[in-house]
Amino acid sequence: METTKRALCPRCLRALRACICGCVRSVSNNTEVLIVQHPQEAGHIKNSARLLHLCLAHSRLLNQTTIDEPMWITLLADKHCVLLYPASDASTPVFLPSQAGNGDDLRLILIDASWRHSRQILAQSPQLQSLPRLALPDDVIANYQPRYHIRRAHQTHQLSTLEAAVLAMQQWEEPTKFVALLEAFDDFNAMQVAFGVRNLQRH
């Protein structure tokens, strides 16, 4: 017997009954955002990266496995590229928010994955390793109340991809413009809870 495939929303790529397009809020960001997504995150019901991508005026979401050397050259060529990821040691180039201006010439790169998978992606990508790192300041994290109620983290700095992007861009763009993005995330969380989704520990 032939299996019937679930109808998918062409925009958010989720099953129609779980479509998140109603959560989307349009945000006009200056900073271009590039999201490098681990394949296991793409179909995950708690995946916040696609919502982030759909909300931002200037963003791109790519599956990690589809980025080859020629594509990396193109992606890193025309703007100042920065990886949102803690520096591993004193030799890692560090990017400071004061260097961002208003974000027009900046491409902020995020890895959408569990922490274990993000380390694997980084280890496998010389291009990402070569980028200056932006780490969220301790006081910014300490003063932020996490809103990712459907996914539990081990440590306070382990935020969702969407929240991490917001906290980063708020350091050089007008902070209030990203309130709509957090409201979209609240709606996303509420919708998942309504579907019966509960906390899932991240590794």
Work out the number of other CB atoms within 10 angstroms of the CB of residue 144.
15
* Span 17-28, pLDDT tens digits: 889 999 999 999
Please, what's the b/e burial string for 73-94 (b: 16 or more CB within 10 A of its CB; e: otherwise)? eebbeeebbbbbbeeeeeebee
78 pLDDT exceeds 60?
A: yes
* Per-domain boundaries in the chain: 27-85+95-194
Kindly report which listed range (32-41, 50-59, 139-148, 194-203) carries the lowest average pLDDT score.
Answer: 194-203
Instruction: Give pLDDT tens digits for 115-169.
Output: 899 999 999 999 999 999 999 999 999 999 887 766 665 454 568 999 999 999 9
Does residue 62 contact residue 37 with C-beta atoms inside 8 Å?
yes
Domain 27-85+95-194 has CATH 3.40.1280: yes
How high is the pLDDT of residue 201? 41
Question: pLDDT-derived band of residue 46, with 50, 70 and 90 as boundaries?
Answer: confident
- Least-confidence region, from 76-85, 90-99, 155-164: 155-164
Question: What is the average pLDDT score of the chain?
Answer: 89
- Sequence letter at residue 77: A
Residue 10 has pLDDT above 60, yes or no: yes
Q: What pTM value is reported for the model?
A: 0.89
